[in-house]
Amino acid sequence: MRYYRVATDQGTKLVARDDEKAYDLTGARDGLRDFCDLAQVADVVDTDVDGVTERLTADAPLLDAESVAERATLPAIPGEVWAAGVTYEVSSDAREEESGRGEIYQGVFEGDRPEVFFKATPSRTVGPGEGVGIREDSEWDVPEPELGVVVYRDEIVGYTVGNDMSSRSIEGENPLYLPQAKVYDRCCAIGPCIASPETVGDPRDLELSMTIERDGETLFDDSTSTSRMVRSPEELVSYTTRHNPLPELAVVLTGTSLVPEEFTLEADDQVAIGIENVGQLENTVIEV
């Protein structure tokens, strides 16, 4: 199942969608308003989110599947978003190029401990169709398409599409400027849904693609596979949660898989990131 948080005139609804039907889980149980509610119930009854949903589909009103996708908003409100860096060789190469300090990033790529950093608060995180930000004081800005791991009480309960917006000019000036390059207004997007582990299958064997359009012209169009990720989602979540209590629901982004070369984003660019078995996240770029 894929889980959407859908905007309606009466507020938001939690909707489960398979290949054919969309089920209004809030209509079946008013207490289920978002994905965190569903994960909480699954934890209490000792099953997974799909197991809870299977018990509710008979009572759930059916919705138009296309309208669900059109009205999808932030699929969950994570208390925190964390991210991992240098988990793909292409990311190591790109950060070496921007900084001229290749030994730092190569050491992370080959080392036992991954790079894990704080990415976003709820107020800095946007959903599908919302504007992602580029900093006014930055000269080189890129989207970073990433598989997002949804974590409930330190356990992986689903996957989403993530965009780790980054200022390469600020980070490239000095690695100690990483927080300013990564954490700012509208610096992170996730969505359009959360796919259950059963729906996703092997998270290290998914096609991932990204396109960037400007004034109707495609400036970037490429794809890769999460099989090129050198660390597993479980390892990245393990390091993120070590001696570091996370909120009840959090998201961990797993690293940059596609890097546009000799390119910087501009306001009004359109970014679309797709991950096999998960979904496609689309956002417009705005300056913040």
pLDDT per position as a tens digit, 200-248: 999 999 999 999 999 999 999 999 999 999 999 999 999 999 999 999 9
- Second-level CATH architecture of 80-287: Alpha-Beta Complex (3.90)
- Spatial contact of 191 and 159, defined as CB atoms under 8 Å apart: no
In terms of Cα–Cα distance, which of 252, 251, 249, 257 is closest to 274? 257
User: In this structure, are strands 249-253 and 80-85 parallel, antiparallel, or unpaired?
Assistant: parallel
pLDDT tens digits for 165-196?
Answer: 999 999 999 989 999 999 999 999 999 999 99
Asked if residue 103 has pLDDT above 80, the reply is no
Domain with CATH 3.90.850.10 in the chain: 80-287
Which 8-state DSSP code applies to residue 248? S
d(CA 60, CA 180): 45
Q: Tokens for 35?
A: 């994905």
Q: Tokens for 228?
A: 């090129």
d(CA 5, CA 28): 15
Is the alpha carbon torsion for 105, 146, 176, 286 positive or negative? positive
Would you state the pLDDT for residue 98?
56
Asked if residue 91 has pLDDT above 70, the reply is no
pLDDT tens digits for 42-53?
Answer: 999 999 999 999
Give me the DSSP letters along 158-201. EEEEEEE-EEHHHHHH-GGGHHHHH-STT-EEEEEEEE-HHHH-
Say how many residues make up the chain: 288
Q: Tokens for 69?
A: 């996708």
